[in-house]
Structure 1
Amino acid sequence: MKIFRDLGWFFKERKMYYIFGVAILFVIALLQLVPPFVIGKVVDAITAESLTKEALIKWIVILSVVAVVTYLGRYVWRVLIFGSDNKLQRTLRLRLFEHLTKMSPFFFQRYRTGDLMAHATNDIAAVQQVAGIGVLTLADSVLTGSSVILMMAISIDWRLTLIALLPMPIMVVGTSILGKKLHERFHSAQRSFSKLNDKTQESISGIKVTRTFGQEKEDILDFSKQTSNVVKKNVAVARVDAMFDPMISIVVSISFVLAIGFGSKFVVEGTLTIGQVIAFVNYLFLLIWPMLAFGFLYNIIQRGSASYDRITKLLQEKEDVVNHENALSTTPSGALCVRIHQFTYPDEKEPILENVDFKINAGETLGIVGRTGAGKTTLLKLLLREYDDYEGEISFGGVKIQDYETASLRSAIGYVPQDQFLFSTTILDNIRFGVPEKTLEEVVATAQTVAVHEDIEGFPKGYQTIVGERGVSLSGGQKQRLAIARALIMNPELLILDDALSAVDAKTEERILENLKTSRAEKTTIISAHRLSSVEHANLIIVIDKGQIVERGTHQELLSENGWYAEMYREQQLEEHLEGGDGRE
């Protein structure tokens, strides 16, 4: 019953609904005692040949009233109790979603998407059953069972009642043993379902790559193995689950045998009438549901408990980045000053960044270049305050970024990551995602700045074109430019482009950079790139290698140093020249 204590906060919140719902269940439980009582009276009257027409009509009217009231009562308790369990589902799902939005990238490295989806669907559905069918089953079985047993003992014979209940300890012990096994196996089944979710999500997202490499059969085989494992785990659950009903049926059968056997004996002895024995058997029929419900309840509780444990574990994950007390809600602006002595990713030993320091004033552009894996993107993540645990200080407008509220800090930053994500909605809504109040004219102006307006106009529905999930219907260059437009339309104090021009041609890149230089004359821009033409115009360029700044200066200064930057620049110039020559032939 631990799960009911765990959900105590919700039951308190909805206590009036549950109180009225259980009260109605209690009334129905009492009304269910009437039909067996009436049957017993009628049988005894028939046996004594004393049943009159008026008496029969009276009993029929009573049964009819009981039927109508029971029908209405069952409708009302369903609205109260099942309405509440849907409320719990919504509350838990919203709480979980809000929690996920606060988590850092490190959290999503440890929990895969499919696993999180399983928590938000199957696990929450299992907990919901506890607050709905679980509460119903508990209340109905206890109320119906106790009222029936009391009626049997008081109105008929306490000895026969005691004899009929003798097999009950078998059921209690059996359900306890099976319940523990069910909890363990359901936990395992939910884990296997999470892995299947991961596989499904990954396979669908990467279907183009799978087909390109001709790995469809292998992917189907792997998926088949995953589904077989899920089936195996759920069959293991079903095997335990399947033991509940037969065990309870055996207990019920023994109770019926004892009741009929000893009931017949008491009739022969003259201590009971035939009508009383028939009424007792009918009462025993009413006990079948509470007995079955007891096993059903144990099943629901164990499933719900296992799922709630998984959800609770997720909700107990701490936020890596939190707002400090008295954090500033103002939007930062001004110079950006970075002094990072050392930064190491969680669960890793070797530092990723060391001795990185630079300063750029408002209106200036910083270029960040270096080999793949040098630490460029990691530096940008620290600027976005995705991680707080590092030695050093980053200030924006003379204030440490930790002293700003995270929402205020990020509202001042327009970020375009390497892996652009577009939503399955219109191009218009994708561009104005961060500022939905922007007009079509403002969106068009931004699209022109990033040289994607002509492409959009070429689509059948223009800005109302649905781009498909993750922008599947667009080219790489189009996705990059739409992502830049989405960041640019916010008019951020700091615009960060993380290799965001890699998929556009040199001519388009030059046009975009020139437009950005004009439109963001008073705003700060950071461009991380592999193609050095993207940062030629920057006020300051830093070259990062193995997490450290190894070169810094303007484009001309770095060329004169004849280091890595100059060598890479000459190589890229030669590649462009050769590509241009090939194109002219």
Structure 2
Amino acid sequence: MRLFSQLRHFFLREWRRYLGAVSLLVVIALLQLIPPKLVGVIVDGITQQRMTSSTLLMWIGIMLLAALVTYLLRYFWRILLFGASYQLAVELREDFYRQLSRQHPAFYLRHRTGDLIARATNDVDRVVFAAGEGVLTLVDSLVMGIMVLLVMSTSISWQLTLLSLLPMPVMALIINRYGEQLHQRFKTAQAAFSSLNDQAQESLTSIRMIKAFGLEDHQSEKFTAIARDTGAKNMRVARVDARFDPTIYLAVGLSNLLAVGGGSWMVWQGTLTLGQLTSFVMYLGLMIWPMLALAWMFNIVERGSAAWTRIQALLAEAPTVVDGASTLPEGRGLLQIAIRQFNYPGSRQTVLSQLDVNLKPGQMLGLCGPTGSGKSTLLSLIQRHFDIEHGDIRFHGESLTRFRLDSWRARLAVVNQTPFLFSDTVANNIALGHPGASRQEIEHAAQLASVHDDILRLPQGYETEVGERGVMLSGGQKQRISIARALLLNTEILILDDALSAVDGRTEHQILHNLRRWGSGKTLIISAHRLSALVEANETLVLKTGAVAQRGTHSQLSQQSGWYQDMYRYQQLEAALDDESDEEQYHG
């Protein structure tokens, strides 16, 4: 029942809808009291032989009219009540999506995709069901139950009413206990469903790799184990759920037994007529729904409460990176990076240390170094995915923490080392950050990224659907489309995080040439393993275990002994061998 208290802000806001629905429910309850009363009158009239056929037809007509009006009113209260609960679903999902979009990578380190999807779909559905069907059953059962009790006790016999309701307090205590068990078990079952959802999502998104490694049977067994565990936990919920109806029907059966036994004795004694007993039994039949409804209400509200707890736990998480209040000043500015030490949240391992660099507008900064040296981490800090406790990054002389995130990120265009394409057309993927771009602007960006000709060779050109995550494209095509997407934004700072790793050397050279022509006056930050991409950089940092091992221009670094010189010579030798192999194949 605590769910109704947790949702009181929504009920107060939508009070007109709920008040209208409750008012109609009261009218419906009053109409449902008419048939049992009239049946009692008809029975007494017939048994006492004092009812005419016209009177009988009149009473039957009134009962039919009451049934018709009840039908129409039920239609309208459903529109009012469920219209409000569906609005709650929209708002919860909007809040959920807004919360996900505000969060930073640290949040997604703690929460898996399948669990987030389960909370946004299954858990929200449970809360909405409780806000609609739960409110209905609570009000309907209470109104109907109270009215029937009043009629039974005042117009027929309070003694017989008291006798027939003796099993009800025991039933209420048992159902309350079931509700507590259901809450805990359903919460556990929902967590298991999240794991199942996550496993399904991972298997579907990595199906190519699974097939490539021949892991179909292994993944199937893994999924089966999780599915069985989820099924077992849902079965525990079902075992509690299955106890509700038998308990109620047993209580109802005992009530009917007491009512018929006690009522027959009262008819025998002459304190009750046969028609009154018939009406009483019919009224008691109307009590079955309130009792069933209360049990059902406990069931769905406890499920909704468990789901609400899971949703609120996620919505209550504040972003780890706090948004600033200031707007960035106009014009290009100096980017100053001064990092004394950076550790990822919850980790003691130092990822970056003693790193200082100033990047003037229009300059190009290169980043290289062994795998895991901290290149991508530095780019994440520039984008403010994490905040720095020991150090700072400044722009226009002000710390990035003072600026609004959307204001800062509007100055950046980023191409990550793992490109992501949506299940949409090529044109719409390129225009993702600039939906109003013309076809000419889209094609120009694609030409700069050296992917225009590849796109024209696709079945429908720029209107070709690329499939989920760009499944129908090669790795190099996906990278170049992502570069075109970033270039179309025409931002002040362009960040390429190893974004040329899947293209050949000639295409890389062409893209870098186009970037230099496009990026006159723009700041360019490139992280790369292939050092040929950094030849034109104003300064290149060689990172090793999070610290700057070397720094300088390409010509300076290639003459210094160290990682850069060794790697550059190795890559030159590799390129020469590839050219020689290609030449032999051509002559052969």
Would the aligned equivalents of 1:332 and 1:408 in 2 still touch at CA under 8 Å? no
Alignment of 1:464-543 (within 5 A): 464-543=463-542
4+ residue segments displaced more than 4 Å:
329-332
Amino acid at match of 2:284: L
User: Hey, what's the Cα distance between the residues in 1 that align with 2:73 and 2:328?
Assistant: 53
Structure 2 match to 1:29: 29
What percentage of residue pairs aligned between the two structures are identical? 47
Would the aligned equivalents of 1:333 and 1:396 in 2 still touch at CA under 8 Å? no
Residue 398 of structure 1, CA deviation: 2.4
Q: Which digits, 9 at most, give the CA deviation of each residue in 1:459-491, with x for residues without a partner?
A: 111100111100101000000000011111000
Alignment of 1:48-127 (within 5 A): 48-127=48-127
Structure 2 match to 1:382: 381
Q: Which digits, 9 at most, give the CA deviation of each residue in 1:351-372, with x for residues without a partner?
A: 1110111011111110000110
User: Hey, what's the Cα distance between the residues in 1 that align with 2:346 and 2:437?
Assistant: 42
Give TM-score scaled by structure 2 length. Answer: 0.98
Structure 1 match to 2:288: 288
Residue 301 of structure 1, CA deviation: 1.2
Structure 2 match to 1:308: 308
Amino acid at match of 1:186: F
User: Hey, what's the Cα distance between the residues in 1 that align with 2:229 and 2:332?
Assistant: 54
User: Hey, what's the Cα distance between the residues in 1 that align with 2:489 and 2:347?
Assistant: 36
Structure 1 match to 2:560: 561
User: Hey, what's the Cα distance between the residues in 2 that align with 1:442 and 1:551?
Assistant: 40
Give TM-score scaled by structure 1 length. Answer: 0.99
Residue 331 of structure 1, CA deviation: 5.7
Residue 322 of structure 1, CA deviation: 2.4
Would the aligned equivalents of 2:381 and 2:388 in 1 still touch at CA under 8 Å? no
CA distance 1:331–1:223, shift in 2 (3 Å): farther
Would the aligned equivalents of 2:415 and 2:496 in 1 still touch at CA under 8 Å? yes
Would the aligned equivalents of 1:543 and 1:552 in 2 still touch at CA under 8 Å? yes
Residue 65 of structure 1, CA deviation: 2.1
Residue 329 of structure 1, CA deviation: 5.1
Would the aligned equivalents of 1:366 and 1:527 in 2 still touch at CA under 8 Å? yes
User: Hey, what's the Cα distance between the residues in 2 that align with 1:347 and 1:322?
Assistant: 18
Would the aligned equivalents of 1:113 and 1:198 in 2 still touch at CA under 8 Å? yes
Q: Which digits, 9 at most, give the CA deviation of each residue in 1:288-340, with x for residues without a partner?
A: 00011111011011100110000010011111122234x11556632211111
Gaps of at least 5 residues in structure 1 are none
User: Hey, what's the Cα distance between the residues in 1 that align with 2:4 and 2:118?
Assistant: 22
Would the aligned equivalents of 1:493 and 1:523 in 2 still touch at CA under 8 Å? yes
User: Hey, what's the Cα distance between the residues in 1 that align with 2:328 and 2:4?
Assistant: 40
Would the aligned equivalents of 1:330 and 1:408 in 2 still touch at CA under 8 Å? no
The alignment status of 1:18 with 2:35, answered yes or no, reads: no
Alignment of 1:361-372 (within 5 A): 361-372=360-371
Would the aligned equivalents of 2:373 and 2:546 in 1 still touch at CA under 8 Å? yes
Q: Which digits, 9 at most, give the CA deviation of each residue in 1:267-305, with x for residues without a partner?
A: 011000000000000001000000111110110111001
Residue 419 of structure 1, CA deviation: 1.0
Amino acid at match of 1:151: V
Would the aligned equivalents of 2:321 and 2:385 in 1 still touch at CA under 8 Å? yes
Amino acid at match of 1:47: T
Would the aligned equivalents of 1:38 and 1:59 in 2 still touch at CA under 8 Å? yes
Mean Cα deviation higher: 142-151 or 54-63: 54-63
User: Hey, what's the Cα distance between the residues in 2 that align with 1:145 and 1:391?
Assistant: 66
Structure 2 match to 1:194: 194
User: Hey, what's the Cα distance between the residues in 2 that align with 1:297 and 1:384?
Assistant: 49
User: Hey, what's the Cα distance between the residues in 2 that align with 1:560 and 1:231?
Assistant: 65
Amino acid at match of 1:493: E
Structure 1 match to 2:581: 582
Alignment of 1:398-409 (within 5 A): 398-409=397-408
1:20 counterpart SS class:
helix
Structure 2 match to 1:323: 323
Residue 390 of structure 1, CA deviation: 2.5
1:549 counterpart SS class:
strand
Gaps of at least 5 residues in structure 2 are none
Q: Which digits, 9 at most, give the CA deviation of each residue in 1:240-259, with x for residues without a partner?
A: 10000000000000000000
Amino acid at match of 1:86: Y
Structure 1 match to 2:449: 450
Structure 2 match to 1:210: 210
CA distance 1:330–1:429, shift in 2 (3 Å): farther
1:328 counterpart SS class:
coil
Would the aligned equivalents of 2:137 and 2:293 in 1 still touch at CA under 8 Å? yes
Structure 1 match to 2:161: 161
Amino acid at match of 2:111: Y
User: Hey, what's the Cα distance between the residues in 2 that align with 1:526 and 1:281?
Assistant: 83
CA distance 1:502–1:553, shift in 2 (3 Å): same
The alignment status of 1:429 with 2:428, answered yes or no, reads: yes
Q: Which digits, 9 at most, give the CA deviation of each residue in 1:438-461, with x for residues without a partner?
A: 100000011001100000000111
Would the aligned equivalents of 1:332 and 1:396 in 2 still touch at CA under 8 Å? no
Amino acid at match of 1:383: I
